[in-house]
Amino acid sequence: ETGVTQSPTHLIKTRGQQVTLRCSSQSGHNTVSWYQQALGQGPQFIFQYYREEENGRGNFPPRFSGLQFPNYSSELNVNALELDDSALYLCASSLASGDRDTQYFGPGTRLTVL
Amino acid sequence: SQKIEQNSEALNIQEGKTATLTCNYTNYSPAYLQWYRQDPGRGPVFLLLIRENEKEKRKERLKVTFDTTLKQSLFHITASQPADSATYLCALLNQAGTALIFGKGTTLSVSS
């Protein structure tokens, strides 16, 4: 186990709704990254937070937003859900941004959009 | 943009044999490359990191090679066991140093 936790484990929403996913990073890690993994694909980078600021963003629309809190935990918010947003959402924590560190992944949140 | 490809979607081998997985990348010269294991419904778990100045790295039954001329990494599992059955992902850090770029993964099945 990596020490990274995510909640909830599973979630079912309908198109147009909004969702918030949560992540607690491994103790001592100040950087959190979020990834989306569709079935049969590798994880795709959404964005990264370092010391409560967004520090890099992948090719995702603005309806994907996030927050990092002073204790380094993080939230991923998705507005106006679409069917294609159905995926496993992974949170990964690491020691520092811009440094060559290993990322430690949580178990993920499985989101289904109907 | 950086691209990373894992040539085989699935690999089936018999217990005791060596599994060899391939990862190729283009448009980029990463300082290092990583390999992860992912079990169904779980997050990826870090296995090995190999740097551009390292030709080979080993950890127990795992061996990774990194050829920066061919832009390729090979991942070997020797004396494979059914418990090694999983999806294996290769990943490299993007140029900004903020994100891992993953391949699609290769699903390994080891039969007894």
DSSP A45-102: EEEEEETTEEEEE-S--TTEEEEE-TTS-EEEEE-S--GGG-EEEEEEEES-TTS---
Instruction: Report CA Rg, chain A.
Output: 13
What's the pLDDT score for residue B30? Answer: 81
What's the pLDDT score for residue A29? Answer: 86
Say if residue B98's pLDDT is above 90: no
Helix (H, G, I), strand (E, B) or coil at B104: coil
Say if residue A7's pLDDT is above 90: yes
CA distance A79 to chain B (A): 23
Put simply, whether B44 touches A (Cβ < 8 Å) is: yes
- Backbone dihedral angles phi then psi of residue A23, each to the nearest 5 degrees: -145, 135
What's the pLDDT score for residue B3? Answer: 83
Put simply, whether B110 touches A (Cβ < 8 Å) is: no
Q: Which residue of B has its CA nearest to A5?
A: B43
DSSP per-residue letters across B39-86:
-TTS--EEEEEEETT-SEEEETTEEEEEETTTTEEEEEESS--GGG-E
Put simply, whether B99 touches A (Cβ < 8 Å) is: yes
Please, is B82 exposed, middle or buried when counting C-beta atoms within 10 Å of its C-beta (0-12, 13-18, 19+)?
exposed
Give the mean model confidence (pLDDT) for residues B21-38.
Answer: 90
CB B43 within 8 Å of CB A106: yes
Residues B32-72 have pLDDT tens digits of: 899 999 999 899 999 999 988 898 999 999 999 999 899 99
Q: Is the dihedral of CA B81, B83, B84, B85 positive or negative?
A: positive
Say if residue A76's pLDDT is above 50: yes
Which among B32, B45, B96 has the least Cβ separation from residue A56? B96
What's the pLDDT score for residue A99? Answer: 46
Task: Share the mean pLDDT of chain B.
Answer: 92
Give the mean model confidence (pLDDT) for residues A62-77.
Answer: 95
Residues of A in contact with B31 (CB under 8 A): 100
Alpha-carbon gap, residue A101 to B20, rounded angstroms: 25
- A and B: number of Cβ contacts within 8 A: 66
Residue B103 and residue A43: Cβ atoms within 8 Å?
no
| CA-to-CA separations, A75 to A90, A92, A103, in angstroms, rounded | 11, 12, 17
Alpha-carbon gap, residue A6 to A22, rounded angstroms: 6
Give the mean model confidence (pLDDT) for residues A33-55.
Answer: 93
Reading the block at residue A38, the tokens are 């569709």
Task: Share the mean pLDDT of chain A.
Answer: 92
Alpha-carbon gap, residue A22 to A36, rounded angstroms: 14
Say if residue A97's pLDDT is above 60: no
Confidence of residue A96 (pLDDT cuts 50, 70, 90): low
Share of chain B above pLDDT 70, in %: 99
Say if residue A84's pLDDT is above 70: yes
Residues of A in contact with B102 (CB under 8 A): 35, 42-44
